[in-house]
Amino acid sequence: MSLINRILSMCESYAYMRPIIINNVIDHLKYGATGELLCHNIRNEWLYSNVTSRDESVFQFCNIDQKKYSNDIPSLKDHFMNAKQFCNNQLPFSFADSRSICEQTSLNALKIGDKKYFSPKNYTRFKYIAFCIPEESQQFFYHWQRQRKIWWRKFSANPGRFSLTEILIDENGQESTEIRAEFPWGQETIETIRNISTKMFDNLDPLEQEMFIARVGKRKVLPHVVESETSLEKAFMVFLCDGYADLPYHSGRREIFRFHRKLAPYKITFAAPLSSEIDLHDIDWEKIHVANLTSYVEQLIKNY
């Protein structure tokens, strides 16, 4: 049995998840009770890194009709106006989406072999969109690559499996790089970071573009955009495969998942009983009594 099949067998046995296949394509991942807890922890850690702990203002949004738009700008108009007003029209600020349900529209995105479990047809995206000061967007693009790689490595039992690809520039001048994870069956692309500049506003008419103009000090500018995107399903599968271990156990072997403590679905604490008959309460009371008595004697000597 291949490694991915052993992992999937464990997932079904311990109520993590089961892939739902329709027309020979993985339509979505169906999570069990344990899997829901793991998903909850992954989302919380992603939100903490991308929203809560950021220095700039980060606003959450959800694109309820992702199939309708080729990019997020049309659905971000109202959110952008509210954020701009909240920030006194000043850049930078950002948006984060951790709940939009999206669908793979390209057949090329539906991978084959072991890779297909990382990219089901329907997925929950994790997307971060930063509206940057034009002069600082390139620096932020480099900074954000490093931050995202650090995030993946933070929760891994094998941080060395994560790497950044070289920056590619497409025919439109848009820069992009990918974070990849190395597994026995090959590399998985788990996140993409793009430096879009102002290109996502190019298809808007002048009146719509005017809505997205903000200020840097007293100067009016069109924001430069840096975005990163992954999915809950990718993160779920990455941490499952990363945490899988086949360890010796007595006379045989045992398969387990070893998660980072912040991702683990269940937390366990061990409390060892006292080896002597003296109760812990009595020990604490004796220490308090001695401490108070010592303090009282010291006070008498001082007064004397």
Concatenate the DSSP letters of all residues of 220-246 into one string.
Answer: EEPPEEEEEEEEHHHHHHHHHHHHEEE
pLDDT of residue 115: 82
CA atoms within 13 A on the CB side of 204: 21
SS3 of the chain: helix, strand, coil, percent, to 5: 40, 30, 30
pLDDT tens for each residue of 260-302? 999 999 988 877 766 655 565 565 555 555 555 555 445 545 5
Which helix or strand (DSSP H or E) is residue 57 part of? strand 57-60
Q: How many whole angstroms separate alpha carbon 219 and alpha carbon 21? A: 53
The model's pLDDT over 103-158, given as tens digits with 9 standing for 90+, comes to: 887 655 566 677 889 999 999 999 999 999 999 999 999 999 999 999 999 999 99
Domains by residue range for the chain, with CATH: 3-245 (3.30.930.10)
Adjacent-strand bridge partners of 129? 95, 227
